[in-house]
Amino acid sequence: MQELDDRWILPLRGRSVIGIDWRASDLLLDLGNEHSILVGYGAHLTPGNGKADDPNFKPLTEWDRKVADEALRSSIVSSVGFKSGTLRIRFNNGWGLVARPIYKNSSAIVYAEGRVLWQQTAVGGTV
């Protein structure tokens, strides 16, 4: 994992989502080999740039599950855990997933080899 001033570059580039588990309170993206991403349903999904003014930047719960499944079953081209607590994942199909601590029910944990690699805290930042 590479650390920069305001973020960590997470070593997920090139990994593909091979399974999606829509659980009671969160979504688990299985990347294989004990790598996964767990986000709350308040995380935002977008086919666009992921900026707050993007009209298609909306919580997972506002997307049809079939559309969200198709969007998320892709390869990761960028994965960043910001020190502010935001997780940003970009996929090779142009879609993005963003979990910010300011969004309700938008927790985020990244696992690598079965262990926590990066975790968002309730107040922002990481542990």
Q: Is the pLDDT of residue 95 over 60?
A: yes
Mean pLDDT of the 7-26 span: 96
Q: Which residues lie across from 8 on neighbouring strands? A: 3, 81
Query: pTM of whole model > 0.75?
Result: yes
Q: Is the pLDDT of residue 84 over 60?
A: yes
Mean pLDDT of the 79-95 span: 95
Mean pLDDT of the 28-57 span: 88
Q: What is the dihedral of CA 102, 114, 23, 98, to 10 degrees?
A: 30
Q: Is the pLDDT of residue 104 over 90?
A: no
Q: Is the pLDDT of residue 116 over 50?
A: yes
pLDDT value for 92: 96
Say if CB 71 and CB 45 are below 8 A apart: yes
pLDDT band at 54, cuts 50/70/90? confident
pLDDT value for 126: 44
